[in-house]
């Protein structure tokens, strides 16, 4: 990556400080929300901010922002694991169907 240090994206310390986005706070759902005003990211969910930065840097799809109808999915279903390798961009309708299938599968197991 040129403009963004990859290590900066990965690091959030135990006190909730992220070097790129400032202070973050863990919500009840396990997701992290940016609480500082650093860089205009206030109130963003951390995983969406990370993916947006990567989209701007790499511009693989020609996007500068996440388009409507697109969500960021945590591959390992751990909302606190915000490593870029664990974040997958997908369409909302597909994510919804995947979540329904996951809940059905859980019901059969337990």
Question: How do 17-18 and 87-91 pair as beta strands?
Answer: unpaired
In sequence order, the β-bridge partners of residue 90 are: 71
Cα separation, 60 vs 71, in Å, equals 16
* 29-80 tens-digit pLDDT: 778 888 887 778 888 888 888 888 888 877 777 777 788 899 998 888 888 8
Tokens describing residue 32: 């992290």
Query: Residue 105: what pLDDT?
Result: 57
| 15, burial (CB in 10 Å: exposed 0-12, middle 13-18, buried 19+) | exposed
Residue appearing with tokens 């169907």: 97
* 69-81 tens-digit pLDDT: 999 988 888 888 8
Tokens describing residue 77: 């279903």
């Amino acid at each position: 990556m040129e403009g963004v240090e990859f290590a900066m994206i990965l690091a959030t310390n135990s006190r909730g400080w992220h070097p790129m986005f400032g202070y973050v706070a863990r919500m009840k759902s396990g997701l992290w929300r940016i609480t500082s005003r650093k860089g205009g990211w206030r109130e963003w969910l951390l995983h969406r901010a990370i993916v947006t930065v990567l989209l701007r840097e790499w511009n693989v799809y020609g996007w500068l922002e996440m388009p409507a109808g697109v969500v960021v999915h945590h591959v390992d279903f751990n909302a606190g694991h915000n490593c870029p390798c664990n974040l997958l961009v997908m369409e909302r309708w597909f994510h919804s169907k995947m979540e329904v299938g996951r809940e059905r599968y859980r019901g059969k197991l337990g």
